[in-house]
Amino acid sequence: MEKIPILRMGEFLLVTIQIDMHDQLALKLQDDLSSTICRNASKGVLIDISSLEMVDSFIGRMVADISGMGRILGAETVLVGMQPAVAITLVELGLSLPGVATALNVERGMALLRQKIDAGGANVDQH
Amino acid sequence: MSTSIKSGESPVRSEHDIVLARQQVRRLAQELQFSLVDQTKMVTAASELARNALIYGRGGTMHWTVLDSADGRRGLRLKFADEGPGIPNMELAMTDGWTSGNGLGMGLTGTKRLVNEFEIDSAVGAGTRVTITRWK
């Protein structure tokens, strides 16, 4: 069975999508990620889509769902590496991915994740 | 008037067929030397319509045609045909944000924005045919 690998890097998870996913594979990734977040008490998820040449409404919804689901499970999600042509197409399609944090590349995505987690931690401390 | 240079078809009967349809459209768009943005738009439009044909139309066929227009432009036309239940309320189906399934409601209206020409023909019990064209 095909599978998209989820790499664990300390309190973060890194997912690099490198193949043209069929719908079931996208759904399986969503399942795998939620269980991996729970198992490792991960604080952040970085999804790298720099190899994806197309994001349609199904994949867009999967990414938005992962982001929402992660937040409930205590993990922030950042989507990185979207190709310009993909971004233009997504917006014209009507999918601007509200609620999904994005960054230009993995490095900036990591920085954004750190920032989000630190900010979240500060909030918790206040209570 | 436009003339057909070449044409073919591929089945849309499974999720894997959606992936194959995307790849087929990518190849054709590249052959036509579409810009990367135009390639991506056409491939994304094909993905949306192929999924519609599979999920709502219980499977169908993608017919593709490479066109030559009277004024010398090349284009790619895709027709997705299914023998599903058809669309009872076209006005509603073409409303932004509307979905009968569990989609985002981006399917038809969103797809229309990605192409130059969009035509839909559907009736209850008579299936649905969506034809899209993008010119270079």
pLDDT tens, residue by residue, A53-82: 999 999 999 999 999 999 999 999 999 999
Residue among A89, A96, A97 with most chain B CBs within 10 A, to mutate: A89
For residues B65-86, average pLDDT: 94
pLDDT value of position B50? 96
| Separate counts of helices (H) and strands (E) for chain A | 4, 5
Chain B residues closer than 8 Å to A22 by CB: 15-16, 18-19
Q: Are A43 and A11 in contact (CB under 8 A)?
A: yes
Count of structural domains, chain B: 1
- Nearest-Cα distance to chain A for B72, in Å, is 26
pLDDT value of position B89? 81
| Contact at CB, B36 and A55, closer than 8 angstroms | no
pLDDT value of position A121? 52
| Contact at CB, A89 and B40, closer than 8 angstroms | yes
Q: Calculate Rg over the CA atoms of chain B.
A: 14
| Contact at CB, B48 and A93, closer than 8 angstroms | yes
A with B: how many residue pairs have Cβ under 8 Å apart?
74
For residues B62-88, average pLDDT: 94
For residues A35-48, average pLDDT: 96
Band (B104; pLDDT cuts 50, 70, 90): very low
For residue B88, pLDDT beyond 90: no
Q: Are A109 and A46 in contact (CB under 8 A)?
A: yes
| Closest alpha carbon within chain A to B111 | A93
Say yes or no: B53 contacts chain A, CB-CB below 8 A: no
Band (A29; pLDDT cuts 50, 70, 90): very high
Residue among B54, B106, B114 with most chain A CBs within 10 A, to mutate: B106
Query: Which three-class secondary structure state does DSSP give residue A82?
Result: coil
Residue A1, Cβ neighbours under 10 Å: how many? 5
| Contact at CB, A53 and B26, closer than 8 angstroms | yes
For residue A120, pLDDT beyond 80: no
Buried b (16+ CB within 10 A) or exposed e, A100-119: bbbbeebeebbebbeebbee
pLDDT value of position A51? 95
Which of B19, B37, B47 is nearest residue A85 as measured by Cβ atoms? B37
Query: What's the pLDDT tens digit per position in B25-47?
Result: 999 999 999 999 999 999 999 99
Mean pLDDT over all residues of chain A? 91
pLDDT value of position B49? 96
Band (B1; pLDDT cuts 50, 70, 90): confident
Range of the domain at B39: 2-135
Chain A residues closer than 8 Å to B109 by CB: 94
For residues A8-16, average pLDDT: 95
Cα separation values, B74 from A22, B10, B136, Å: 30, 21, 6
| Contact at CB, A92 and B22, closer than 8 angstroms | no
Q: What is the CATH number of the domain that holds B100?
A: 3.30.565.10
Fold of A6-126: Transcription Regulator spoIIAA (3.30.750)
For residue A124, pLDDT beyond 50: no
Say yes or no: A94 contacts chain B, CB-CB below 8 A: yes
Nearest to A12 by CA among A109, A127, A121, A122: A109
Residue A44, Cβ neighbours under 10 Å: how many? 25
| Contact at CB, B44 and A89, closer than 8 angstroms | yes
pLDDT value of position A126? 41
For residue B4, pLDDT beyond 50: yes
pLDDT value of position A53? 95
For residue B76, pLDDT beyond 50: yes
Judged on CB neighbours under 10 Å (0-12, 13-18, 19+), B105 is middle
Say yes or no: A88 contacts chain B, CB-CB below 8 A: yes
Residues of chain B above pLDDT 90, percent = 76
